[in-house]
Amino acid sequence: LLKIMWINVLLSGDNAVVIAMACLGLPRRQRLWGMILGAGVAVILRIIFTVVIARLMLLPYLKIVGGLALFYIAAKLLVPEDEDENEVEAVEHLWRAVRIVAVADIVMSLDNVIAIAAAAQGNFALILIGLAISIPLIVAGAALIMALLERFPILVWAGAALLGWIVGEVIMTDPVIQGLLEPKLGEEGFHYMVLFAALVGAILVLLVGGFWRRSKQASIKAKVSAAE
Query: What does the alpha-carbon distance between residue 48 and residue 211 come to, in Å, rounded to a whole number?
Result: 36
Residue 84 has pLDDT above 60, yes or no: no
For the ranges 29-38, 57-66, 79-88, the lowest mean pLDDT is seen at: 79-88
Q: What is the dihedral of CA 74, 115, 7, 165, to 10 degrees?
A: -20
Q: Classify 153 as helix, strand or coil.
A: coil
Average pLDDT over residues 211-220: 88
For the chain, the domains span 2-227
pTM: predicted TM-score of the whole model, two decimal places: 0.72
